[in-house]
């Protein structure tokens, strides 16, 4: 799970969606399960963030000397000034 950032994001998002569904159900059994899920959710989120930072890739171009960060899909001429 940790070496694939896309799977980590999908898994944690699904986990949290199920958590919200369990909370909204109002069923006492599902609310008990949701409490247990709440305990593990910070660990899963931290693992997901670590996975994305450690193994994620970026398709953005590297900045040249003196260049500032900006939108990579627009040229600087089309952006204009604020």
Tens-place pLDDT, residues 51-75: 999 998 877 777 777 766 666 666 6
Tens-place pLDDT, residues 6-57: 999 999 999 999 999 999 998 999 999 999 999 999 999 999 999 999 998 8
CB of 37 within 8 A of CB of 19? yes
Q: What is the CA radius of gyration of the chain?
A: 20
CB of 44 within 8 A of CB of 12? yes
For residue 77, being part of any structural domain is answered with no
User: Domain count of the chain?
Assistant: 1
For residue 28, being part of any structural domain is answered with yes
**Rounded Cα gap, residues 8 and 4, in angstroms:** 6
- Structural domain boundaries, residue 12: 5-55
For residue 10, being part of any structural domain is answered with yes
pTM over 0.75: no
What the block records as the tokens of 63 is 């900045």
CB of 33 within 8 A of CB of 22? yes
């Amino acid at each position: 799970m940790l070496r694939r950032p896309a799977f980590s994001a999908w898994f944690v998002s699904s986990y949290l969606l199920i958590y919200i569904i369990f909370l909204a159900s109002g069923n006492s059994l599902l609310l008990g399960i949701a409490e247990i899920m709440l305990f593990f959710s910070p660990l899963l989120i931290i693992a997901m963030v670590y996975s994305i930072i450690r193994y994620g890739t970026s398709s953005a171009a590297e900045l040249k000397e003196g260049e500032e960060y900006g939108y990579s899909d627009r040229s600087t001429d089309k952006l204009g000034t604020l």
